[in-house]
Amino acid sequence: MKTIKIISAIALTAILGFTSCQSEENSQVGTNPNANSSTSPTASNYQRATMNDGSDDDFLDGNACTELLFPLTANVNGQQITLLSKLDFTAVLNIMGQFNNDSDAVTFSFPIRVRTSAYTDVTINSQSAFNTLKQECETAESQGKDAISCVDIQFPVTMLTYSVSLEQTGSVVIQSEKQLYTFMKNLQDDELFAVNYPISVTLSNGTTVQIKSDAEFQNAISECVQFEDEKDAAEDTAEEVEAILSGTKFKVETFVVAGANTANDYANWSIEFKNDLKVVAKNVVNSALGEVNGTYTVSSETEAFVNINFASNTTVSALSNNWVISTYSNTLITLKSKTDASVTLALKKI
């Protein structure tokens, strides 16, 4: 999935230290039959949820395992650009967004520096080394060694530590994702832990929830992963539909408003979606009626959308809407209004 991070094969070189302290006042001092080992699902969940997130720059490097470090220079669709911070991402996206029927090409001026999922900073000296790192990422993901970036844990979080005999040995107050990742990564076979619940987490859908157990944390992960999967599927749909629309002429096959099919009102009109996000309606019978120009965008959330915008008071202005993509093929796209599902539009390729 596109918003997940994975453990890089590059070894962790910077280890944070922690201070453990015995707390006789803690309500969980003593034995704890629910303590977790380093190989437990709970340990895996917390480690995966706290890896370094390298997904923000995936449009540039195509690698969710690595975070690009600044400064760096890249050639984007033939244009050289130097990036000093994430603020320069906008300039890259503007170049990529000039046309929607081209294949965006990005090459870096090596060496570049990246930060891995394990918080290790690495210098990449060549395209081949860059490709190897990307392949390692894909291999690890296929093996189920992926990390989860759709849960943000609110810190501080306290971890209670136990011996294998389930006697508490101390507690550790964790202040950041990096510290929690390192704590989980460095657990030894003879060390157990328990999370001092409750804790708060924020999911990628914007919901903040209080977690009171390991099981509830697993449920929160399952919920947000499902949400991310829906977003990924919608993004794939948007990309495919945009490719079908771009540079192609369509006719109105059906246009149902208030239960009536008004497609005949547009029988003499073609709708052409240009590759620069312009849309042009032409009367193919009476050229004297000229053209009606508009714009369109294809986007996604947990559904995919086609937004069509023609000027008001034109023959085709009623087609303006934020449409939800219902079904699509290479020749037919069916849409429904985002605000009124009873209003539907079907566009058939000419």
Residue range 66-110, pLDDT digits in tens: 999 999 999 999 999 999 999 999 999 999 988 876 788 999 999
CB of 198 closer than 8 Å to CB of 210: yes
* 263: three-class secondary structure by DSSP: helix
E strands, 9-138, are 66-68, 72-76, 79-83, 106-108, 112-116, 121-124
pLDDT of residue 144: 66
Q: Give me the mean pLDDT over the 246-258 stretch.
A: 97
CA angle, corner 347, sides to 343 and 348, nearest 5? 150
In whole angstroms, give the CA distance from residue 187 to residue 169: 14
pTM (2 decimals)?
Answer: 0.79
Q: Angle, nearest 10°, between helix axes 41-49 and 214-245? A: 50
pLDDT of residue 117: 93
pLDDT of residue 31: 59
- Least Cα distance to 169 among 50, 26, 39 occurs for 26
Instruction: Name the band, by pLDDT with cuts 50, 70 and 90, for residue 240.
Output: very high
pLDDT of residue 101: 67
**Average pLDDT value for the chain:** 89
DSSP state of 167: B
Q: Give me the mean pLDDT over the 169-191 stretch.
A: 96
In whole angstroms, give the CA distance from residue 105 to residue 79: 10
Instruction: Name the band, by pLDDT with cuts 50, 70 and 90, for residue 34.
Output: confident
pLDDT of residue 9: 34
Look-up of token digits 């989980």: 184
In whole angstroms, give the CA distance from residue 140 to residue 162: 31
Q: What six digits make up the tokens of 318?
A: 């009623």
In whole angstroms, give the CA distance from residue 110 to residue 127: 8
Q: Is a pLDDT exceeding 80 seen at residue 12?
A: no
In whole angstroms, give the CA distance from residue 131 to residue 125: 11
Find the farthest-apart pair of alpha carbons in the chain and give their distance in angstroms, rounded. 89
| H/E run at residue 224 | helix 214-245
The burial of 12, by beta-carbon neighbours within 10 Å (0-12 exposed, 13-18 middle, 19 or more buried), is given as middle
Query: Within a 10 A sphere around the Cβ of 226, how many other Cβ atoms?
Result: 13
Instruction: Name the band, by pLDDT with cuts 50, 70 and 90, for residue 32.
Output: confident
CA angle, corner 272, sides to 269 and 277, nearest 5? 140
In whole angstroms, give the CA distance from residue 67 to residue 149: 13
Look-up of token digits 């219902």: 326
Domains of the chain (ranges, CATH numbers):
246-349 (2.40.128.270)
pLDDT of residue 99: 80
Instruction: Name the band, by pLDDT with cuts 50, 70 and 90, for residue 7.
Output: very low
Q: Give me the mean pLDDT over the 194-205 stretch.
A: 95
pLDDT of residue 48: 93
In whole angstroms, give the CA distance from residue 217 to residue 214: 5
Which residues fall within 8 angstroms of residue 35, CB to CB, at 6 or more apart?
A: 160, 162, 166, 192, 193, 194
Identify the weakest region by mean pLDDT among 23-37, 217-231, 262-276, 317-331.
23-37
Instruction: Name the band, by pLDDT with cuts 50, 70 and 90, for residue 6.
Output: very low
Q: Give me the mean pLDDT over the 304-327 stretch.
A: 96
pLDDT of residue 142: 78
Per-residue pLDDT reduced to its tens digit, 257-286: 999 999 999 999 999 999 999 999 999 999
